[in-house]
Amino acid sequence: MRSGWQISVTVLVAVGSLGLVACSDEPDVVSQEAYDEEAIRLCERRGEELLSIEELEARPLSDAARAAFLAGELVPAARAVVRSLDDFGYPAANAAEYSNGAAVAIAALDDLQADAIGLLDRRRAGLIVASDDPFTNLSQALAAMDIPC
């Protein structure tokens, strides 16, 4: 027979374990269909701000206006979509690929946020190696996550 303090310790350990499970940082596993629907919903909400670099360069804007759009519109919108999908969860079959895509996207977005105008200048001058181009990395990461916008 257990004493009162042993029962209390057992209850506290059980409740504490439940709290750790509930506070886990692991994303939920969802169906591919639910993930795709969420990605479409997010694109419908934020997709206008997610221009490709080619679309942005085709607009008759100054570099300062392009940099302002990147820092003020594209980066926050893309970050919101990627983080929302990360919080939503990934289908088990693609979880590793989607999680890696999210990490690459966030790193590219951090680079764009930190030096948008400098990156635009270096890109125009051909000074960015394709593998180090945050614009390309972001585009590929969003495609790897099956984000349709």
The two tokens of residue 89 are 């969860």
Is residue 115 classed as helix, strand or coil in its secondary structure? coil
User: What's the pLDDT at 28?
Assistant: 61
Average pLDDT over residues 9-21: 42
Compute CA 92 distance to the chain's CA centroid, rounded to the nearest angstrom.
18
Place of tokens 């349709």: 148
- Write out pLDDT tens, residues 31-52: 999 999 999 999 888 877 777 7
83-135 per-position pLDDT tens digit: 999 999 999 999 999 999 999 999 999 999 999 999 989 988 999 998 889 99
Give the pLDDT confidence score for residue 25 in this predicted structure.
55
Q: State yes or no: pLDDT of 22 exceeds 60.
A: no
pLDDT of residue 62: 86
More confident residue, 56 or 76: 76
Q: What is the reported pLDDT for 1?
A: 55
What is the DSSP annotation of 13-50? HHHHHHHHHHT--SPPB--HHHHHHHHHHHHHHHGGG-
